[in-house]
Amino acid sequence: MAVKGNQMLPGNHFHKHWQRRIKTWFNQAARKYRRRQNRVTKAKAVAPRPAGGLLRPAVRCASNKYNTRVRLGRGFTLQELKAAGVSVVDARAFGVAVDFRRTNLSVESLQQNVRRLKEYRSRLIVFPKKAGKPRKGDATEEEVRLATQLRGTILPLKASDKREKALPVTEALQKFEVFRHLRRLRADKKYKGKRDTKAKAAAEEGIGGGRR
């Protein structure tokens, strides 16, 4: 049946039971309280170890889009542990995460995580297994008494915002033509092979190389 003009709609069915389709969040405060209680319970269970979990390395995010960001990774590589003088068994005993799959592709990341391991090791207080017989590297009785549990992330990453200082505008900078300089670099890169071949051939003939 077609409806024309300002007429009534026949057979209106507007009872859609909207009460079944809405979602409420009245238990938000209770969930928050429960999460807090779970954190406290977990911290008491692992005390005096850090409540934030294991020590994580600093890694770069994947893909060209996000590789400028630095985040906490899964675990330290075997190369990083070896450079820091820490074995896999000791790392797991000291609360250091280990990743057997990740590899180091740059010296900078390797050195950064080695420094991170050494800093953590210098701050760490190792409780002796037997109070009367401490081993080499274990903490003394005074250090054990002063030990407190760390809350939060272990050695969190600091945002490094490196800004270049403003330079004074000199006469040389005003005369410098950026567009022409970039075009020259682009041309040099494009014709490098041909120019090298031409210069080599000219040198073999004894005429002398060089670009005119």
pLDDT digits (tens, 9 = 90+) for 109-148: 999 999 999 999 999 888 888 777 778 778 887 888 888 8
Residue 16, pLDDT score: 77
More confident residue, 187 or 164: 187
> What is the average pLDDT value for the chain, to the nearest integer?
88
- Arithmetic mean of pLDDT, 81-104: 95
Does pLDDT of 211 surpass 80? no
Residue 181, pLDDT score: 96
- Arithmetic mean of pLDDT, 55-78: 94
Radius of gyration of the chain (CA): 33
Lowest model confidence (mean pLDDT) among 8-22, 59-73, 132-146? 8-22
Does the pTM surpass 0.85? The reply is no
Determine contact, residues 138/93, Cβ cutoff 8 Å: no
Of 44, 45, 49, the C-alpha closest to 125 is 49
Of 60, 91, 89, the C-alpha closest to 73 is 60
Does pLDDT of 172 surpass 60? yes
More confident residue, 208 or 29: 29
More confident residue, 84 or 3: 84
Determine contact, residues 125/144, Cβ cutoff 8 Å: yes
